[in-house]
Structure 1
Amino acid sequence: MAGNMKVGIGGLGAIGLTLARAITDGRLPGLELGAVSARNVEKAQDNLAALGASAPVVSLEALAEICDVVVECAPASVFQTVAEAAISKGRIFVPVSIGALLNHMELVEKAQETGARLVLPTGALIGLDAVRAAAEGMIESVTLETRKPPRGLGGAPYLVENDISVEGLTEAKKVFEGNARAAAKGFPANVNVAAALSLAGIGPDQTSVEIWADPSVTRNTHTIRVEADSARFSMTIENIPTEENPKTGKITALSVIATLRRLKAPLTAGT
């Protein structure tokens, strides 16, 4: 696309604000901030003014009316609202709540009809390029082990529904074992990485997930293990949580920035 692409940001929390700053500061050549959406309009306007950005604050649906690219970094509960609007308009849609996408895979078929593209950032994980490559052959198994400080898992629906407490732990406690689809449903604010991994590899029903509340860790830690006909590999990443939200790693926002940079970059590295 010739000229600048307008980026709309749905949600102006820790991730959205970091992204808005990067675009406004000129760190992403070829991109400009077209609009943002936020629950607290006045606060969003103040934050944008502090950045020196003049983008309007609009509804989630209106982002697709104004912008070429729509980034979703809002609560998973509003995922469908922003996603359907962006895909209906044929936009490039970049979701952070990738776990929510598993419940709305009809959007992929809709994108084929409208010309929209769903571009999923790696987020807080590692090695999706290797997983994608291995998936071109035969993958036997993919396992994700997530360990988080207990406070980073507090309030997760799966823990509440199953009356699992992570308070006062003195040793690691496995709080979930199942597939990626169930993990994304039970921990919507914690393991979008499970959804991203499953979509890069063998799907949400075949991807195995373990989640641990571990008082000995201070960083959100994810280990993936893959057995394939082309390679066997395991990788671990330890993410520093954001100050605003211990459930989200600092690298998540940077991953979205890197994803957007690829949209206009003359050279990209990685599968």
Structure 2
Amino acid sequence: MDLENSGPTARVAVAGLGSIGAKVVRELDRGIEGLVLAAVASQNPDKHRAWLGGLTTKPAVLPIEALAEAADIVVECAPGKLVRSIVAPVVSRGKTAIVLSVGALLENEDLIVLARENGGQIVVPTGALIGLDAVTAAAVGTIHSVRMVTRKPVEGLVGAPHLADNNIDIAGIAEPLRVFEGTARQAAKGFPANLNVAVALSLAGIGPDRTRVEIWADPTITRNTHRIEVDSDSARFSMSIENIPSENPKTGLITALSVIACLRKQRASLRIGT
């Protein structure tokens, strides 16, 4: 996937300066081949002015709606409810949006059509999963089934809408408890801050309505764990990853690193992976 550019250097903007966005901004400031940090947006800009002011390249601090004009690539690191307002102006200009809140795409599928009609692109980084290249390759043939089992520390699931809607109390559990079993689409709706990985997996493979997901609240672990099992006409494989949580317990530390890796690949002299 080659991102949109305008000449030898592409301008990058970051929407959202939480644990992921801040890491991406700092890495861009340190330098990524062929890219330059142009702008950022935050719901609370004053909170971040001090450290932003200390960057070597001070980005413009803009409202979300202005990012599409200021950059060639916009990285979305914001709450899912803001995905449309970030992505639509970008892809309608034929530019590239890197989207982390993948679950929101299921409620805004017309954004993909908008990108196609205007020559834009929506890029979904690998994020907290492994093996999306293998799933994407298998999908060129026929995938029979995809199943993902997610286990998270209790604090990483507290507050999820599915738990509230079904009166599931996990605060005092002493052993692992399965709190959800269903499709990736249902998982994304019930756990919007937790299950972007399930949606990314489903979009790489057989879609959100055929990808099966289990979610466990597990007080015995400290890492977010995902196990994926795929059966296809070209290969049968399983993958497992244990992610160290970031400052936000709902998000793995590797998610930010995945975005940075995605950005590095765009202008690198050597690219590894599909």
Instruction: Give the TM-score band, short-chain normalised.
Output: over 0.9
Deviations 1:192-214 (A, max 9, x none): 00000000000000000000000
Change (3 A) 1:163 1:53: farther
Structural mapping, 1:1-271, within 5 Å: 1=5, 2-26=7-31, 28-242=32-246, 244-271=247-274
Deviations 1:103-130 (A, max 9, x none): 1111111111111011110100110000
Shift of 1:45: 1.9
Aligned Cα RMSD in Å?
0.9
Deviations 1:172-200 (A, max 9, x none): 00001000001011111101000000000
Secondary structure in 2 matching 1:130: helix
Shift of 1:42: 1.3
Amino acid at match of 2:63: S
Secondary structure in 2 matching 1:21: helix
Shift of 1:44: 2.3
Contact 1:16 1:253 in 2 (8 A): yes
Shift of 1:50: 2.8
Deviations 1:142-173 (A, max 9, x none): 00100000110000111111111111111100
Secondary structure in 2 matching 1:218: coil
Deviations 1:242-261 (A, max 9, x none): 1x210011000000011111
Amino acid at match of 1:3: P
Which ranges in structure 1 are unaligned for 5 or more consecutive residues?
none
How many percent identity over aligned positions? 55
Shift of 1:239: 0.3
Which ranges in structure 2 are unaligned for 5 or more consecutive residues?
none
Moved more, 143-152 or 80-89: 80-89
Secondary structure in 2 matching 1:61: helix
Amino acid at match of 1:18: K
Contact 1:44 1:57 in 2 (8 A): no
Shift of 1:266: 2.5
Amino acid at match of 2:171: E
Secondary structure in 1 matching 2:214: strand
Amino acid at match of 2:99: P
Deviations 1:52-73 (A, max 9, x none): 3311111111100100000100
Give, in whole Å, the separation in 2 of the partners of 1:256 and 1:112. 22
Give, in whole Å, the separation in 2 of the partners of 1:48 and 1:4. 22
TM-score of the aligned structures, taking structure 1 as reference length? 0.97
TM-score of the aligned structures, taking structure 2 as reference length? 0.96
Give, in whole Å, the separation in 2 of the partners of 1:225 and 1:217. 21
Number of aligned residue pairs: give it.
Answer: 269
Give, in whole Å, the separation in 2 of the partners of 1:17 and 1:153. 23
Shift of 1:47: 2.2
Shift of 1:77: 1.4
Shift of 1:97: 0.2
Give, in whole Å, the separation in 1 of the partners of 2:212 and 2:119. 32
